[in-house]
Amino acid sequence: MTRTAAQIGAGLEAARAARPITSGSRIHVVGAAGAGASAAAWLAARAGAVVTGCDPGAPSPYTAALDALDVAVADHHDPAHVARDGQALVDRVAVTKALTAVAPDHPELQAAQAAGLRLEAWQQVVADAAASQGGRLIAVAGTHGKSTSAGWLVALLTAAGRDPGAFVGALLAPELTDGPPATARWGRGSAFVVEADEYAGNFDAYRPDIAVLLNAEWDHPDVFLDEDAVLDTFRDWLLAPGAQERVVVANVADRGVARLVERLPVGAMGVRRVVRVGLLDDGDPSSGHTSRPEDGLDLVGRSLPGARLVLDGPALTAAGASGPLEVALALPGRHNAANALCVAAAALEAGLTAEELAAHLGGFRGVGRRMEVKGEPRGVLVLDDYGHHPTAIAATLAAVRETYPGRPVWAVYEPLTYHRTAAMVPAFADVLATADHAVIADIWAGRDPDTTITSAAALAEAIGARTTRTATAPGSVEVTAEHLAARVRPGDVVLVMGGGRSYVIAERLVTLLSEGG
């Protein structure tokens, strides 16, 4: 059963046009230990606000950056965070929809409203922080690859001296944040990059000058009935106020994006221009695909073996290139070649030259929790990844096989939300059954109100029905790490995936293997 964006975000104000954050204003962020809400708190503090936060999940990998700014994040909810005796203690309250989706009548939220405070999604604070910096807003959207591509664009613009601000839904390296790893960056340049999530109106606060569409397919079955509903949401966002000035970078090699572009009016009543990009081949140089004017692409990519990407097309020529450009990428996988192509097109649209693109596109080494190497104790390579959709998992497994050929692969997955898992059990089972071993940790409920509709054991059983290899469901993330430590062998590659607390599996497994060595 699907719910509307209004039901998911019950009690939250509608998204509005961004306005700069007032210096000294008091902002409280509910859910500040999460990847996105922590960025809102961090950016608000850098913009001059006095910021507090709370989250039962604190501390988390995202709160170290807030500690460095002396932003206090309480490890519990409490009405006293926002009001006392009916009097407001803060000026603004930003909230994660993970709370409103399951507890819209939460006492802390009720106390804020009783004190006359309006509740807003944390994305509104990010948009206001972008307005505080000024410059062009660049939003990176799509079902998969948003964090990697947004982080890639931030790194590229930074290396080229553009000093962008940013919100990215994964940790950026210290060299990009000038401090601890964080999901945000404060800049003084003419660009601000945001990761724009389609779930339940999350991206509605972002009114970008440049919108990047990586891909589009069905996800979030609790709010989207089918792929058409997803495409309609993207279209409505792109045609929001100011759309006539908007440039859309569209990966039309993706079926969903191609369908979406067909629905976009271009001109006075729609977006101003669509920059069409796409990979034309499957990585085999003998396929015969080349850049052809009749393809109608502004930027063409060819993915070659060895993580090489060849770029060509009118957009590159306009940026000063005298011919095709070949770049060696640090990130493996054809999906990352597609991400790089979209990043390149957005960077060119933001003003980078072909020379700057050639110098800096290949240097990006990724963001946190995207095939991140956690260690190789006792000869067991442990990788941590955010993959939580069948398509993303398939792409990551393919990249792991390409990068570590011949090594047995353990696919370890903590399913993200019951509704997604229940709706996609066959697809998850199909892709996870391709690993040498599959291990399913307990499902991370997140914003789910119903935790009875499926289970980790049900997914493991479906995997087992598709393969003669092992598929188990040991229990919690802690128990899963212990289960793995007793079974992995030197030479194995353990790919841990998920969006909840799956990172604990990777970290604890490395510790257990190191201690046992």
Q: Is the pLDDT of residue 227 over 90?
A: yes
Q: Is the pLDDT of residue 373 over 90?
A: yes
Number of CB atoms found within 10 A of residue 86's CB: 9
Q: Which residues of 342-352 are buried (b: 16+ CB within 10 A; e: fewer)?
A: bbbbbbbbbeb
Higher pLDDT, 517 or 189: 189
Report the pLDDT averaged over residues 301-309.
Answer: 93
Summary count for the chain: helices (H), strands (E)? 19, 23
The CA dihedral of 195, 196, 199, 201, to the nearest 10 degrees, is: 140
User: If residue 148 lies in a helix (H) or strand (E), which one and from where to where?
Assistant: helix 146-159
Helix ranges (DSSP H) in 450-502: 456-464, 477-485
Number of CB atoms found within 10 A of residue 91's CB: 14
- What is the C-alpha to C-alpha distance for residues 269 and 305, in angstroms, rounded to an integer? 43
Mean pLDDT of the chain, nearest integer: 93
Q: How far is CA 474 from CA 468, 470, 514, in A?
A: 18, 12, 21
What is the per-residue pLDDT across 133-181, written as a single tens digit (0 to 9) for each?
Answer: 998 999 999 999 999 999 999 999 999 999 999 999 999 999 999 999 9
DSSP 247-299: EEEEETTSHHHHHHHHT--BSTTSBSEEEEEEE-SSS-GGG-----GGG--SE
Between strands 72-74 and 50-54, the pairing is: parallel
Q: What is the pLDDT of residue 244?
A: 72
Q: What is the pLDDT of residue 287?
A: 35
Q: Is the pLDDT of residue 33 over 90?
A: yes
Q: Output the six-digit token pair for 175.
A: 């060299």
Report the pLDDT averaged over residues 439-453.
Answer: 89
Q: Output the six-digit token pair for 409.
A: 């692969």
- What is the C-alpha to C-alpha distance for residues 209 and 409, in angstroms, rounded to an integer? 42
Half-sphere exposure of 437 (CA within 13 A, CB side): 18
**3-state DSSP helix/strand/coil percent for the chain, to nearest 5?**
40, 20, 40
Q: Output the six-digit token pair for 146.
A: 């948003």
Task: Single out the residue of 456, 367, 382 nearest to residue 174, CA to CA.
Answer: 367
User: Where do the DSSP E strands lie in 43-135?
Assistant: 50-54, 72-74, 83-84, 87-88, 92-95, 119-121
Percent pLDDT > 70 in the chain is 96
Q: Is the pLDDT of residue 266 over 60?
A: yes
- Asked if 102 and 109 touch (Cβ cutoff 8 Å), the reply is no
* Full set of structural domains in the chain with CATH: 5-124 (3.40.50.720), 134-363 (3.40.1190.10), 372-516 (3.90.190.20)
3 state DSSP class of 51: strand
Q: What is the pLDDT of residue 291?
A: 40
- Asked if 151 and 158 touch (Cβ cutoff 8 Å), the reply is no
- What is the C-alpha to C-alpha distance for residues 328 and 491, in angstroms, rounded to an integer? 27
Least confident stretch, 236-245, 334-343, 377-386: 236-245
